[in-house]
Chain A
Amino acid sequence: MRTPRGNSDQQFYLEHKKGSVMKLSTKWKSLSFCLAAGFIATSSSAFAEPLKVAFVYLGPVKDGGWTQMHDEARQKLEKAMGDKIKTTYVENVPETADSERVFRQLAADGNKLIFATSFGYMEPLQKVGKVFPNVKFEHVNGFKTAPNIVVYEPRFEEGFYLIGTIAGQMTKSNTLGFIGSFPIPSVMRNIDSMTLGALVVNPKVQMKPIWVNTWYDPGKERQAAETLIAQGVDNVAQNTDSPASIQVAQEKGTYAFSIDADMSSFGPKGQLTGTTEDWSGYYIAETKKVLDGTWTGERHTRWGLKEGMVVMAPLNPAIPPAAVKVFEDTKAKIISGELKPFVGPISDTTGAVKVAAGSALTDADPAFNSVNWYVKGIDGSPPH
């Protein structure tokens, strides 16, 4: 009884396998056909179907922070471009091999412009980019470009410099705090620039950073904020994603600063301001470039307050007018280019000169991407 059944099973298996192989090969054929068709379509774009633009998100679209800001920009993009484009998004995509599958799928589905909105997609993107040379990829905060991959990044340090301006004026204990996620250069720059901004308005200021080694854990972020306050901090900024520290500030009567989104609804008294992002201007500009054929690869774009990618959250009415004036003046100087957050002389906690007097460290300098030191005024030594 067993043998014939085994045979038929095997046969079924073989047929099934054959079928799937055939399916696969037709899929590849149609895929290459699609790619060829895509080629033709771009050369005669007058009658082209709408450009398919895809977004890949790390978190859920309603995360109240990072991902939500990207999705709001996607909606603005769709509104601005009308029926010339069609957007899709995939949320909750982990920074693992899973993301590679998502990018492949989106590219195979005919999306011609794909925005990858998290740092950890860098390596998967490099792989997929080679397989789909006609698809244009945009990667946030990364540093690896290719003929069809560009990188874009906000000048977060400008926002944090302004946060420092407010915190330095509002602190009574002259002690500021920072809840850090991971000690990577972009986060180190935020702590440094906030401290620099605060020191200009208040030379007595001291900064205490605490690392929680997570991007998102409301409970732990809350504990970190409480710890800082217990140690005398009265102004807490953060690089982690939840509004926990805003809630703590609201309860304890201290101040906090939001990141990515305006979180004042979680603590109208606790939040003084915050640094948020508006990606829509960039997304619209890049989509237009693809539509009129002027999009080029190998670029690294950094936009800040001037271009409107970094936007400050509304100022709390509790901030006195004199402090607001300093804030606005500083902001105007950053926008006009007169002031750079990392302007020398800057020395680190060991006393070594990092930026010489008369010069400024900007994103044009490779050292900017490897900031792993604390500026003088920060408590402790960097976790390296």
Chain B
Amino acid sequence: MTPIVPMFASTVVAATPLIYAALGETIVEKAGVLNLGIEGMMLIGAVAGFAATLATGSDTVGFLAAAGAGVALSLAFGFLSLNLQTNQVATGLALTLFGLGLSAFVGHNLAGTPLPPLPSITIPVLTGIPVIGDLFFHYDIMVYLSLVLFAGVQWFVTRSHAGLTLRAIGESPTVAHAIGKPVLTTRYLAVMFGGACAGIAGAYLSLVQTPMWVEGMSAGKGWIALALVVFGTWKPTRVVLGAYLFGGVTQFQLFAQGFGLPIPTEFLSMLPYAATIIVLVIICRDPKTILLNQPASLGISFHAAA
């Protein structure tokens, strides 16, 4: 058996939660809001999705509950940072800590309960093709939906009228407000979308990747998603490529170890982070690229009365 197929499959499964979380955050940041609470929302999503699936036996309900929990937590962030205009960085960090604690508290009695994994779907004809079928057509439904989400976000940001409004608000909320665009409402919707995506990303961990709930199971993936948005220069295509790259290099370093390459394992563990940063820095080697792509009002509170 060629090891390429399982390696590729592992990469896809590792990258999928990053894609959900990072695409959600891309929309949030495009609206000019910096929500550092992805990790917290992922954990809340993970525990909510796990509990809902355990109670109902339905994965769909689980993912919906996860999205709902992510939205609920993001609304708390929205109220504090958009209405009360608290510092977004501090509020986002607080959200992560809060989500970590709350999910541990809520999930106290769920730890150690097993759950059957989400079945992979079979597509008639396509799944049957040798190699190609194994490579691309034997994943769970959420993997394909993440690509649908990517296409949707890409279309929304670059092609739609509403996406244009979103970007305008992220660049200059004052001007957008002056020409009658609903700044607060749009930002709220963006924050909620980010919350839903982070919640689903969390549920992907607790329902698909390792179907179980344990405290702190996201193990820093929310922060990686956050970094992917910046290094992907707020472009959905680069964000998704970055997620696959990160998942792929993580897989490669484990693979290299299995072959017994004489490289220090600490160095190999560092590799996914280093490689992702290097590649994305090369993509935007002109230092202006990040500055030009970054929404101009990112992280700055907007006060409508001005």
Contacts and interface: CB of A to CB of B under 8 A. Distances in A.
Contacts of A63: 111, 214-215
Nearest to B252: A227
Interface in A237-281: 242-244, 247, 251, 265-267
Given A183-B265, A218-B209, A64 B214 contact: yes
A60 B216 CA distance: 10
Interface in A257-310: 265-267
Contacts of B128: none
Interface of B: 1, 3, 6-7, 9-10, 13-14, 17, 104, 108-109, 111-114, 117, 205, 209-212, 214-217, 219, 221, 250-251, 254-255, 257-262, 264-266, 268-269
Nearest to A265: B114
Given A219-B209, A219-B219, A222-B209, A381 B262 contact: yes
A220 interface: yes
Contacts of A29: none
A223 B214 contact: no
A28 to B, nearest CB: 33
A213 interface: yes
A216 B210 CA distance: 13
Residue from B111, B113, B114, B216 having most chain A Cβ neighbours under 10 A? B114
B212 A227 contact: no
B112 A212 contact: no
Interface string A203-243: 00000111111101111111110111111000000000011
Given A210-B257, A223-B254, A230 B210 contact: no
Interface of A: 59-60, 62-64, 68, 177, 183, 208-214, 216-224, 226-231, 242-244, 247, 251, 265-267, 379-381, 383
Contact of B114 (A177, A183, A266): A266
Nearest 3 CB-CB pairings of A with B = A380-B260, A62-B111, A211-B265
Nearest to B269: A213
A227 B114 contact: no
A183 B265 CA distance: 9
B7 A230 contact: yes
A219 B10 CA distance: 10
Contact of A231 (B214, B215, B251, B258): B258
